[in-house]
Amino acid sequence: MEKKIDKKIILAALKNVAYPIAALAIALAVWAAAAAAVNKPLILPGVSEVLKEFFLLLKEKAFYKGVGWTLLRTLEAFLLSVVLGLAFAVIGALVKPIRKTFEPIATAMRAVPTMAVILLSVLWLDYDEAPVLIGFLICFPLLYSSFLNAFLSVDKDLIEMAKVFKVKKTDTVRYIFIPSILPSALSSMKSVVSLCLKVTIASEVIAQTKTSIGVMMQMASMRFDIAKLMAWTVSAIVLSFVLEGLFALAMYFIGRVRWKSKI
């Protein structure tokens, strides 16, 4: 029985690795075919040229400074969104009038065009602070809605049962709310963290944020160095995959945890 389970786990792991590799291979093939068809390296450099430029970037100190500061701003905006989104979601789930009052505000925040948020933030704040605010304003309403829906979808019968049997509130949170909410919350955070990185980089370009991926991209664009621009794009994609991979890893380990109920 254990051998069969082990085989299933190994097969599932191989599939999880195979599909991304296949997707990457298709993307690279399309890119190589397009570059060969255009046949103008200044307009669309080939895969080998961009990878060569990417590995050259890895030798530069400016690369690590730019990536490091962009990552720091992204995490700052993201963590702020998670903390406040979770806090407002808890309050909204517990107090219906507050939830109903805040609902149109969250909807309006989601509806505001991203470019408008970026331009206004650049006018209001310093070039270093603007990307953080922009990332927060974009990610907060998404996470708030996701967390709130997770809270509201918790099985009401289990909550009522806990009340009837006078279960401690700490045990109710630990054995009912956390197992019900955590997988959905982590899945939402996994999706939003990449968006936060993308928005942060876009705002760095417009805000002219020093020491950032965004400003390095703009400098490459101004010099019409398409290979370097695409190399910086590859670095942003790799960083996004790393961030999402960390959440996927967390989801895997949390999925293996057995929440043993004492209630």
Cα 43 to Cα 98, 169, 205, 230, 247: the distances in Å are 53, 62, 21, 11, 36
The length of the chain is 263
pLDDT of residue 114: 79
CA 261 to chain centre: 32
pLDDT of residue 168: 81
Site of tokens 């509806």 = 111
Q: Which residues 6+ apart lie within 8 Å of 165 measured at CB?
A: 263
- What angle do helix axes 178-207 and 226-256 make, rounded to 10 degrees? 170
CA 218 to chain centre: 23
Which pTM value belongs to this model?
0.84
For the chain, give every domain's residue range: 1-39, 48-256
Nearest to 74 by CA among 206, 240, 207: 240
Give the pLDDT confidence of 204-240 residue by residue, as tens digits.
Answer: 998 888 889 999 999 999 988 999 999 999 999 999 9
Q: Was domain 48-256 assigned CATH 1.10.3720.10?
A: yes
Give the pLDDT confidence of 94-104 residue by residue, as tens digits.
Answer: 898 989 988 89
pLDDT of residue 87: 94
Q: Which residues 6+ apart lie within 8 Å of 263 measured at CB?
A: 161, 162, 165, 167, 171, 172, 175, 176
Among the listed ranges 134-138, 170-174, 243-247, which one has the minimum average pLDDT value?
170-174
